[in-house]
Chains A and B, each alone.
Chain A
Amino acid sequence: MMLEVRGLDAYYGETWVLRGVSFDLDQGHIRTLLGANGAGKTTILRALCGMVRTAGEIVFDGKKVAGWATEDIARLGVAHVPEGRGTFVRMTVEENLQLGAMTRRDRAGIAQDIERTYEQFPRLRERRTQQAGTLSGGEQQMLAVGRALMLRPRLLLLDEPSFGLAPLIVEELFAILRRINAETGVAMLIVEQNAALALELAEHAYLLETGRIVMHGPAAEIAADEGVRRSYLGY
């Protein structure tokens, strides 16, 4: 089991945000975290990257990483595409991609991966010397995913990848994610408000409410269950 989370609590200052969250993610699989705003989905991803104060266990590749610094967790092969995309706005598209590969030493491999990114996201190639802050929302999202993949991660964390994007772009993006997972076997944990799309991509889903996992199961089952859909997913 690549990622095991047991009894995870998280705090923003004095506010207790996550309560006893437990889940697994195995190599190569895609799982999704669903729930309303404020349920704590983003917090789980931030907790996995050491960006919030936590209690409980997080085990990645057999190592206990709860309490580790963000950069050390990243160096283990965990790439996080954060809420808001986290683009280096003053740097060029190309520099953003190079930054994604900052912890790697293989120049040839990096150059190859940059090329591959441009193949996956042709729009970025056109803009490779542009300041990243001038790109549209959809392009920045693609850049953020591309940057994360430059790490050659074993685990890809995506926080609301569909946020603020037009539906067509979102579909394109999710298709690319499916393709990447098939080609490289990178595991993905996706936080999404767009439950329908997420349930199509993932094979297992967790539902969060006020900081707890209230339900989980195979994506197809959750998508098919009317009661669940109505109460938790809003459709």
Chain B
Amino acid sequence: MTVQSEESVTVPTAPAVTDITVTRPGGLRVTARHLLIGAAVLVGLILPWMVQSFVMFQLTQVMIYGLAILGLNLLTGFNGQFSLGHSAFYGIGAYTAAILMSRYDMNYALTLPAAGGVCFIVGFLFGLPALRLQGLYLALATFALAIAMPQILKFHPLEGLTGGVQGLVVIQPDPPALLSFLSSDQWLYYFTLSVILVMFAAAANLVRSRTGRAIMAIRDHPIAAAATGINTAVYKTLTFGVSALYTGVAGALGALAVAFVAPDSFSFLLSVSFLVGLVIGGVGSIPGCLFGGLFVLYVPNIAESISTGLAGAIYGAILLLVIFVMPSGAAGFCRYAVAYIRRSRTPRNANQH
């Protein structure tokens, strides 16, 4: 009998970049992550003064798409329910805001919670039958929703409310008296920015909470989740509702930004855009949603500017390139990069091959 000596090998690790903490008196822990977010917000605040007004408008749209994609992310990325129908929620949010403003003279700020509320209810109701459908079958059902929405919006008997094929005009809001030095475009930018900050923060909180963990547990292993006492049906339908709420609020903001709603803007293609943005940004990553929004706003334009005839092909080629290089999206790529940096700072074991 031979006995070999054993040594347990410990590999010391250098502290990771994002783990560096600074403790200030009063106990406020500031991590590198917080600093990054703070810097981003600061940049966001001063951006309108640094770029042309058209670019600022596009950035407003980037934020709006980012919010819509965050809605989809909550459902698909964090809860594993696949949806091709988020263009419908976006449209419902947009039309709710437009109808309330044009027909009922509601204040624009109030249309956001109204749109959110309506979409929450619709999303929740859709989530109920969705409980029975898995994967591709759910995809088909949500797809049906996406296809149905423009048709419903054009539906003859509802024209009095929706404005039919021609849609509705929305009056862009003016800045409040205190900030009257801003143009209405600039006010829209800051208004959108504040809404984004609040909602992204809320989402981040949700994801880190017990509820968030339950939601993710359902995605990863529904049977085990149920076995630990999580009421999967309740969580899944509520997540559907919240997801719709987020995308609906984005839709309302979109209506304010574009100042116009029409049925064909909310087609299935929009759902596809959201999906592409979700994947490119990084499924399950909250900051990734903004990158996704940036991508789906700018890249189609870039493709078109390279060649109008082959715009679709170039867009497709760019998509493929990005997927090849960053299969888990931008967020996945960043994670990989950070891990790579950590690894190269770690002293390696002597017997390394």
The number of residues on chain B lying at the interface, defined by a beta carbon within 8 Å of a beta carbon of chain A, is 11
Q: Which of B317-353 contact A (CB under 8 A)?
A: 343, 349, 351, 353
**Contact between B353 and A215, CB atoms less than 8 A apart:** no
What are the interface flags for B1-28 relative to A under an 8 Å C-beta threshold, 1 for contact and 0 otherwise? 1111010110000000000000000000
**Contact between B353 and A212, CB atoms less than 8 A apart:** no
A residues within 8 A CB of B349?
Answer: 16
In the assembled complex, the CB of B39 is this many whole angstroms from the nearest CB of chain A, namely 30
Bound complex: CA A214 to CA B8 (Å): 12
B residues within 8 A CB of A16?
Answer: 349
Given the known A-B contacts A9-B353, A55-B353, are A217 and B1 also in contact in the complex, defined by CB atoms under 8 Å?
A: yes
The binding surface of chain A is classed by DSSP as strand
**Contact between B6 and A214, CB atoms less than 8 A apart:** yes
B residues within 8 A CB of A55?
Answer: 353
Bound complex: CA A19 to CA B351 (Å): 9
B residues within 8 A CB of A14?
Answer: 343
B residues within 8 A CB of A209?
Answer: 6
For the complex, is A42 an interface residue (Cβ under 8 Å from B)?
A: no
Given the known A-B contacts A9-B353, A14-B343, A55-B353, are A210 and B2 also in contact in the complex, defined by CB atoms under 8 Å?
A: no
Given the known A-B contacts A216-B1, A221-B1, are A210 and B353 also in contact in the complex, defined by CB atoms under 8 Å?
A: no
In the assembled complex, the CB of A6 is this many whole angstroms from the nearest CB of chain B, namely 13
B residues within 8 A CB of A216?
Answer: 1-2
Q: Which of A206-224 contact B (CB under 8 A)?
A: 209-210, 212-217, 221-222
Chain A: interface size category: 10 to 19
For the complex, is A225 an interface residue (Cβ under 8 Å from B)?
A: yes
**Which residue from B1, B6, B8, B9 sits with its C-beta under 8 Å from A225?**
B1
A residues within 8 A CB of B9?
Answer: 19
In the assembled complex, the CB of B4 is this many whole angstroms from the nearest CB of chain A, namely 6
Given the known A-B contacts A9-B353, A14-B343, are A212 and B6 also in contact in the complex, defined by CB atoms under 8 Å?
A: yes
A residues within 8 A CB of B4?
Answer: 212-215
Bound complex: CA A40 to CA B86 (Å): 46
Bound complex: CA A225 to CA B4 (Å): 16
**Which residue from B1, B3, B8, B351 sits with its C-beta under 8 Å from A210?**
B8
Bound complex: CA A78 to CA B331 (Å): 41
In the assembled complex, the CB of A20 is this many whole angstroms from the nearest CB of chain B, namely 8
A residues within 8 A CB of B343?
Answer: 14
Bound complex: CA A14 to CA B348 (Å): 12
A residues within 8 A CB of B353?
Answer: 9, 55
B residues within 8 A CB of A213?
Answer: 4
Q: Which 6 A-B pairs have the closest CB atoms?
A: A217-B1, A55-B353, A215-B3, A214-B6, A214-B4, A221-B1
10 A-B residue pairs with CB within 8 Å:
A9-B353, A209-B6, A210-B8, A212-B6, A215-B2, A215-B3, A215-B4, A216-B1, A217-B2, A221-B1
Known pairs A19-B9, A212-B4, A225-B1. 19 more at Cβ < 8 A?
A9-B353, A14-B343, A16-B349, A19-B351, A20-B351, A55-B353, A209-B6, A210-B6, A210-B8, A212-B6, A214-B3, A214-B4, A215-B1, A215-B2, A215-B3, A215-B4, A216-B2, A217-B2, A222-B1
Binding site for B on A (CB under 8 A): 9, 14, 16, 19-20, 55, 209-210, 212-217, 221-222, 225
